[in-house]
Amino acid sequence: MTRSSLRAVLVAAALVTGSTIGGHSVAVAATGQDTMLVSNASHKFVTAEVGRSGDAFGTSRARADAPGPYEHFTLVPTGNPNSFYLWSNQAKNYVSAEFARTGDQRGVLRARQTPTAPGPWETFYYLPNSDGTTSIAVYDSSGTRWYVSAENGWTGDDYGTLRARSTSPGPWEKFVFTSRYVSGYDDFPTLWRNSKLDQFYVDPWGWNRECVVFAAWKIYENSGGTQQPNGQNAPNDWASHSIDVNNNWGFAKDWYAYAVNHKVRNDDSPTVGSIAQWVSNQGWFAAHGHVAVVTAVFPDGSILVSGYNGHAEGEYRTWYFPHHQTITDSYDGKNLPIVWPEHFLHINGL
């Protein structure tokens, strides 16, 4: 999300209220774009830990490799375009900076279990940085401003905890707001996900759990398709939102040539929802190429991709690529190099 669009959301979003606490309206939803928050230092998505109990419930942590339901928040306007309340869509509550705590728990960000009326500890300020990232600040009861940090030096279940504790912004205090929802988690249809690699009579193409089928599924979803498969059959509106894997696009290595021949935009400019494509000679997929969906593009040009069968085992994986760099995939101890995608295909304008 750009700085101007972030400001527009804060100004224009309409708050839908339900109950009141202490005379304050308590939001049950907010219209407009929902938002995901990413630590620019670790490139991890911020998660609301609603599976925890007690005081750990709803703790905000930058720890997810790809966005799922727990990574969605809503920016709620405060009336000041430079500030916002942060609503956890999963916890169904405002995120608070816990300044009443002591020690290294002071200032931890979390969405509590009990309904919370927004106040100073729930009012966050965004401060744009020259590199396209955003720092977030909040004031304690004494009026001291604290920047929100992702505690990337912590370990275990505390890794990436968000905490308002820094007096100036540094690498751990830089975040990226992304409003475009492209689900990067494994939301493959249940029948397809629970069946074996290349099992017949599962999907319409006989290539179940192959990279091309998952990519085609993500194209369908990200182009507006909302139906689920009917047994082996693809959704009824598949042709309106996705591609014919067998008869047209074929193996992953063939996707680039097909895109060129049919005037589908292709370039070296990744966008969220575009298809990352390798022709051949890369790691496990040397013979047939590989495709994956781009789930995030960061201000420094690095990207996150997700897909199936990158290791020729039919499993779901995510890969983070620094801009135009080769990564090392350590799956099964093989430590094979994977180069930056050779092409990005913008099917249906994604």
What burial class does residue 228 get, using C-beta atoms within 10 Å of its C-beta: 0-12 exposed, 13-18 middle, 19+ buried?
Answer: exposed
183 within a domain of the structure (yes/no): no
SS3 70: helix
Say whether both 20 and 167 belong to one domain. yes
Together in a domain, 66 and 92: yes
CA distance 101 to 117: 19
Considering only CA atoms, which of 105, 87, 323 is closest in space to residue 96?
A: 87
Residues 66 and 108 in one domain: yes
pLDDT digits (tens, 9 = 90+) for 59-106: 999 999 888 889 999 999 998 889 999 999 999 999 999 999 999 999
The pairing of strands 108-111 and 93-98 is antiparallel
Number of domains in the chain: 2
For residue 15, give every residue at least 6 positions away whose Cβ sits within 8 Å of its Cβ, in sequence order, or none.
25, 27, 30, 31, 76, 77
Q: What is the pLDDT of residues 149-187, one digit of tens each?
A: 999 999 999 999 999 999 999 999 999 988 665 666 688
Contact 124, 137 (CB under 8 A): yes
Q: Domain of 249: which CATH number?
A: 3.90.1720.10
Question: Which amino acid, 41?
Answer: A
pLDDT greater than 70 at residue 31: no
User: How many other CB atoms are there within 10 angstroms of residue 83's CB atom?
Assistant: 15
**26 within domain boundaries:** yes
> pLDDT band at residue 18, thresholds of 50, 70 and 90?
very low
Q: Could you tell me if 303 and 228 lie in one domain?
A: yes
Q: Do 11 and 129 lie in a common domain?
A: yes
pLDDT tens for each residue of 220-247: 999 999 999 888 889 999 999 999 888 7
Q: Is residue 185 part of a domain?
A: no
> Is 26 in the same domain as 129?
yes
CATH code (residue 130): 2.80.10.50
pTM: 0.77
Cβ pair 254, 275 in contact under 8 A:
no
Same domain flag for 171 and 257: no
- For residue 53, pLDDT over 80 is answered with yes
Q: Which domain holds residue 34?
A: 3-178
